[in-house]
Amino acid sequence: MIQKIALVGFGTVGQGLCEILAAKEKELLEKYNYQYLIVAVSDPRFGTAYNSAGLDMEQVFNEVRSDQKFTTDGCPWDSLEMIRNSNADVVCELAFTDLNTGEPAIAHCREAFATGKHIVTSNKGPAALAYAEMKSLADKHNVDFRIEGTVMSGTPVLNLTDGPLAGCSISAVKGILNGTTNFMLSEMEQGSDYTAALAKAQALGYAEADPAGDVEGYDARAKVTILANVVMGEKLSITAVDCTGITALTPEDIMEAKAENTRWKLIGSVTKSSEGLSAYVRPERVPLTHPLAGIMGATNALTFKTDLLGDVTIVGAGAGKTETGFSILSDLLAIHRAETILPENRL
């Protein structure tokens, strides 16, 4: 079966995905028997292009590079109409993340589920603000809600716990979930003050013009919420996660920690115990002997506390065009594998 894909949002991640798919077309067919068509692209800047037999993606990229509205296969549908009316099997929701309302991504997901289409997304909004609703709508319509890219980009987290760690119970997840702040803390240990570290992070494209999402811990808080809901099966609301960012840390704090063989890290954590669930984001002084202490720069790391394996830690990229593009591919391949399962064996 050829997987028919619609993209909502054609920025960094969407373009990264399409570049990977094009470069790996032959390899994906040979190794995984995977074939795809991109039937629709919808973006506020370029409008919608739709062709039920598959778009000419070279043409799509040409029009995007010349910053014009789609003309070849141009189509009057807005993104919701495209999701509703297209013949796609999977909608990749790659619009911008809004952690206050989750929109327009939540509306996109609802429309996809209602019309029997899988959702693959790296957008944290729907999963962090409305996971229970999203999962229940997906289940009701017998499609997937796959979100590997919402935590640590394509570095395996949700597909790791869902696949190779299946059979283990996970009672705690703890780690460094925001690359921008980890980069800034690494810079401050080298002698930069907060303002210089932030300016460098912005110059390198790690931090947004408005850095609040990173430095106030909101990005990490969304990820902690997602981990609690998906990996630990807990109905945790984002507002129930205690959240402190790194804005109050001074160069003196950093140097004092260093002198005592510790290091400040912005830690996201969720722990299940007999007293209930505890979840937070806050700067912590980690001993230099702790595995998380050695995670420097924009790298992310996450430790799962399991019943059968003890602690398992994964370390890798937390952002990036290709890395997040791969997260989408990883979920598309997982859907492809599951599509080949006999209906009577589906759970």
Q: Which stretch binds its own copies (CB under 8 A): 19-27, 79-87, 135-143, 223-231?
A: 19-27
Q: How many CB atoms lie within 10 A of CB 40?
A: 28
CA atoms within 13 A on the CB side of 195: 0
- Could you tell me which of 341, 336, 267 has the C-alpha nearest to residue 36? 336
Binder among 116, 163, 191, 205 for its own copies (CB under 8 A)? 163
Is 285 an interacting residue with respect to its own copies (CB under 8 A)?
Answer: no
Interatomic CA distance for residues 212 and 247, integer angstroms? 9
Q: Of residues 4, 117, 124, 223, which has the active-site annotation?
A: 223
Binder among 282, 285, 290, 305 for its own copies (CB under 8 A)? 290
State which amino acid sits at residue 226: I
Inter-CA distances, 85 with 49, 93, 94, 296, 347, Å:
13, 16, 18, 46, 28
Binder among 35, 56, 68, 164 for its own copies (CB under 8 A)? 164
Is 333 an interacting residue with respect to its own copies (CB under 8 A)?
Answer: yes
Is 160 an interacting residue with respect to its own copies (CB under 8 A)?
Answer: yes
Report whether the peptide linkage leading into residue 211 is cis, meaning its omega lies within 30 degrees of zero. no
Per-residue burial over 185-221, b = 16 or more CB atoms within 10 Å of its CB, e = otherwise = bbbbbeebebeebbeebeeeebbeeebebbbbbbbbb
Is 329 an interacting residue with respect to its own copies (CB under 8 A)?
Answer: yes
Report the DSSP beta bridge partners of residue 262: 287
Report the DSSP beta bridge partners of residue 131: none
Nearer to its own copies, 193 or 339 (CB): 339
Beta strands in 274-328 (DSSP E): 276-287, 299-306, 310-317
Is 173 an interacting residue with respect to its own copies (CB under 8 A)?
Answer: no
Inter-CA distances, 168 with 115, 161, 163, 331, Å:
34, 8, 10, 21
Is 315 an interacting residue with respect to its own copies (CB under 8 A)?
Answer: yes
Would you call 68 helix, strand, or coil by DSSP? coil
Nearer to its own copies, 184 or 238 (CB): 184
Is 322 an interacting residue with respect to its own copies (CB under 8 A)?
Answer: yes
Binder among 121, 155, 178, 269 for its own copies (CB under 8 A)? 155
Binder among 11, 24, 87, 278 for its own copies (CB under 8 A)? 24
CA atoms within 13 A on the CB side of 130: 22
Is 326 an interacting residue with respect to its own copies (CB under 8 A)?
Answer: yes
Count of residues binding its own copies (CB under 8 A)? 52
Q: Which stretch binds its own copies (CB under 8 A): 2-10, 108-116, 254-262, 320-328?
A: 320-328
Is 33 an interacting residue with respect to its own copies (CB under 8 A)?
Answer: yes
135 noted as active-site residue:
no
Is 145 an interacting residue with respect to its own copies (CB under 8 A)?
Answer: no
To the nearest whole angstrom, how small is the minimum distance from the Cβ of residue 256 to its own copies?
20
Which residues sit at the interface with its own copies, rule CB under 8 A?
Answer: 20, 24, 27-28, 31-33, 148, 153-156, 159-160, 163-169, 289-291, 293-296, 308-317, 320, 322-323, 325-326, 329-330, 333, 337, 340-342, 345, 347
Q: Kindly list the catalytic residues.
A: 223
